[in-house]
Structure 1
Amino acid sequence: MWAVASQSIAVLAATLEVEPELAPARPALALLAVFSWSVGTFLYCAVGVFVGVRMLTVPFRPADLTPPYWVAMGATAITVVAGARIVQMADAPMVDATRGLIAGASVFFWAFGTWLIPPLVIAGWWRHVRHRIPFRYEATLWSIVFPLGMYGVGSQFLGDVDHLPIVHTIGYVEMWVALAAWTGTFVWMLVTIWRDVLRPVRPARRADRSPPAR
């Protein structure tokens, strides 16, 4: 979440840069975008080390593999989005000095995020199929939906900026996967709310209306 928060600021700064009213502030927005992107990149690497040490030093149980682990991929995806938006920014001293570096690093983060998808899917299979932990709705499932959507957006941005048609196509196809995941999770949430929250209230109301015992 540290990395995602920093990269969100970078995306915002790069997006505001195109507004004509903010033309005088473009050098400052460029500085903020590159600064936030760099901090987010450092934080991602640092958290990756912390998570790796935790997995090597503490017994890793199937119950520990909760959906928020997908943020590890989502953080790379929003890093790609921020990097692509910075590469698209108008000429500014800070952008001109780092454009090539950020463009190349964005490809690296896209490749690493793509590589993370199979291990995360296998980890889910290991948790729910191999160890038979029930797969129920929980609010943290949205931690899977966000990375899937952000990966699709980041792939399309990166494909357009670096002229990589295959990456853009992968992002376009994956966006439909993200839409299916969002729809399924949303419907599952509504069913869970109806079954566990709204439906049990009805018998209680009927009991209140029953005549008092003599």
Structure 2
Amino acid sequence: MAEPGDPDLFKDQPAPRPEADPDAEVGFCSPDALAGHPRTVEPEPEPGPEMAAGPEPDPQPASEPRLIEDPLTAPLVAPLAAPAYTPPPRRERADDLPEPEGMMGLYTVYALILFAIPTFGVSAVIGLLAVMVRDVPTHAVAASHHVFQVRTLWTAAVVTVLGIILIVVNVGVFVLFLLVLWVLMRGAWGSWLLKSRRAIPNPRSWWI
């Protein structure tokens, strides 16, 4: 509260003026000061013509459907139908292929070729005689194996004689060793293709 001798801060205000109270300048007001300043409540403005108008019109035309903003309330849509499953083409197995002509005779000659090493060439001679007296098959797969066997046996017979002659100069053993590997490789390769019922790609070649 104001003390005697304090300056009168409300001397310029018209009467009735409140008692000079310096505490009011720093945010502290006495009960007397509060009583001297009655609080006035401003009346709320009355609604004008714009506020009294009805609801705002829908910005979207009535003919177009309104977009649903809430995804939780959106209707369920049936998923697109999955494409029809198409199974992959069935690969032909060896058992489904037609059996070549004279298949048992071809298997027998291949067995004689593979047993030429343990029999020291005796079975190879029998196999050579067997293919020479037989006619060439008409089936393409069997004909390729027949030509392959004839070429293998005749080449083995010629190289065997050459290797025996070259033993004198210490080269024949090496030639005969390579011949053994070559005969076994061609016999195994031809047997595998015949079991798969496949033709020899190049029956007149020196390789497999």
Please confirm whether the aligned pair reaches a TM-score higher than 0.5, indicating the same fold: no
TM-score (norm 1): 0.25
Higher relative contact order (CA 8 A, sep 6+): 1
TM-score (norm 2): 0.26
Structure with greater proportional helix content: 1
